[in-house]
Amino acid sequence: MIHLSVIMPVRNEAEHIADALDRLLAQQYEPGKLEILVVDGMSEDATPQIVQEYAQKHPHIRYLENPNRLSSAARNVALKHAKGEAVIIADGHCFMDDNEMLRRVDEAFVKSGADCLGRPIVTYESKDAPPFNGRTPSHGKVGWDTIPIHLCTPVKPNFLRQAALQ
């Protein structure tokens, strides 16, 4: 298995971050081959405390700060710290209902030799549908008829670095 770095840019995700981290921790992936980098954009809720509690219990979870607050800046912060052969960018409110997803990402990279894999996007018809079950998503400005839930974007860091140089 390749070493994976999950990059999770967050800001004010206290309502969802524990569930997202629990779903990542439930992944069936080889111990020592996974790191989770949660990059906080100066949250004004309990997000930092929640993530730091997880990081104390799980050494492969790291809390990083993003003083620029933007998701793009958070990805850059994390890429400087990522040790994985591939990175997966996942939102702080991501919904991974498949405990084999990271293993499948690994298989796809190995089989295809690709530098970047597409990400699935699922839409829900109502705020009462899973994964929200009546809770308000952090991107609540989006109409309830099309709520995009971004699951992940798997990519190899060298691909990102080369793209940035062009």
Residue 137 phi, psi (nearest 5) = -70, 160
Q: Would you give per-residue pLDDT tens digits along the chain (166 residues)?
A: 999 999 999 999 999 999 999 999 999 999 899 999 999 999 999 999 999 999 999 999 999 999 999 988 999 999 999 998 888 888 887 777 788 888 888 888 888 887 777 655 555 455 555 554 444 444 433 333 333 333 445 666 665 455 444 4
The DSSP code sequence of 28-82 is ---TTSEEEEEEE---SSSHHHHHHHHHHH-TTEEEEE-TT--HHHHHHHHHHH-
Phi-psi domain of 63 (left: phi exceeds 0; alpha: psi -120 through 50; beta: other): beta
CB 159 within 8 A of CB 115: yes
Phi-psi domain of 93 (left: phi exceeds 0; alpha: psi -120 through 50; beta: other): alpha
As its CATH architecture, domain 4-121+149-165 has: Alpha-Beta Complex (3.90)
Instruction: Give me the residue spans of the domains in the chain.
Output: 4-121+149-165
